[in-house]
């Protein structure tokens, strides 16, 4: 159900006085009281203006979304982060889910609208990954160097194993030849 700003303010004021307004028809009393407590928490964290209906939804940048997701991943609850930021808990849950699946690129908003039927008009690669900052770039360079080192180390180990196998095969062949020579000498006596 959608409530007016004045009704929400009245309910919050009554809550501060220790009272609850009459429950509207068709709604469970417990659920209505829970909603009022939620309005109180939103007002305490974001101010009374947060209870107003917005004419247009806020457009969240990927950086803003990431800041909220990072708070959830660091241990804060979905509910507390959603209430303090003034967004719906379900929306924050979706952002966390997308971040876990797709990483930072999951937080970039996709273009809205229906896909074009003309394949020539398709835009490929519209979701640009964010630019790396200096420390991330340095870490990337370090990790690439480490990967190169590990690959070279693996190649050395593979060559060493192949060489050992080759020596072992040569030793077994020599042993076999030696045993065949000995068996030939025994037959001649």
pLDDT at position 154 is 95
pLDDT at position 31 is 85
d(CA 173, CA 144) in angstroms, rounded, equals 43
Whether the model clears a pTM of 0.75, i.e. scores above it, the answer is no
**Could you tell me if 48 and 61 lie in one domain?**
no
d(CA 177, CA 187) in angstroms, rounded, equals 16
**Could you tell me if 42 and 63 lie in one domain?**
no
CATH number where 72 lies: 1.10.10
Domain count, the chain: 3
CA atoms within a 13 Å half-sphere pointing along the CA-CB vector of 72: 25
d(CA 108, CA 130) in angstroms, rounded, equals 9
Residue 166, CA distances (Å) to 76, 88, 172 in order: 59, 66, 10
pLDDT at position 69 is 93
Contact call for residues 72 and 96 (beta carbons, < 8 A): yes
Question: Which domain range does residue 3 map to?
Answer: 1-53
**Could you tell me if 139 and 100 lie in one domain?**
no
d(CA 7, CA 117) in angstroms, rounded, equals 48
pLDDT at position 182 is 75
**Could you tell me if 63 and 37 lie in one domain?**
no
Judge whether 118 lies within some domain. Answer: no
**Could you tell me if 38 and 68 lie in one domain?**
no
Closest CA to 51 of 8, 22, 19: 8
**Could you tell me if 37 and 64 lie in one domain?**
no
pLDDT at position 123 is 61
d(CA 108, CA 99) in angstroms, rounded, equals 10
- Tens place of pLDDT per residue across the chain (189 aa): 678 878 888 888 888 888 888 787 778 888 888 888 888 888 877 777 777 776 667 788 899 999 999 999 999 999 889 888 878 889 999 999 999 998 888 898 887 787 777 766 656 656 677 787 888 888 888 999 999 999 999 999 999 999 999 999 999 999 888 888 777 666 555
């Amino acid at each position: 159900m959608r409530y007016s700003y004045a009704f929400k303010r009245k309910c919050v004021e009554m809550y501060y006085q220790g009272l609850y307004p009459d429950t509207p028809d068709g709604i469970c009393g417990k659920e209505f009281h829970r909603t009022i407590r939620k309005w109180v928490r939103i007002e305490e964290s974001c101010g009374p203006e947060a209870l107003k209906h917005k004419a247009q939804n806020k457009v969240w940048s990927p950086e803003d979304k990431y800041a909220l997701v990072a708070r959830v991943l660091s241990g804060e609850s979905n509910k507390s982060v959603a209430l303090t930021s003034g967004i719906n808990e379900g929306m924050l849950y979706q952002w966390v889910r997308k971040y876990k699946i797709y990483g930072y690129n999951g937080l970039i908003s996709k273009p809205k609208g229906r896909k074009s039927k003309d394949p020539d008009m398709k835009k490929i690669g519209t979701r640009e990954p964010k630019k790396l900052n200096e420390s991330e770039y340095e870490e990337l360079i370090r990790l690439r160097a480490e990967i190169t080192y590990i690959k070279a180390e693996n190649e050395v180990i593979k060559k060493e194993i192949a060489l050992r196998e080759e020596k072992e095969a040569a030793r077994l062949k020599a042993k076999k030849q030696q045993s065949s020579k000995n068996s030939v000498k025994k037959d001649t006596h």
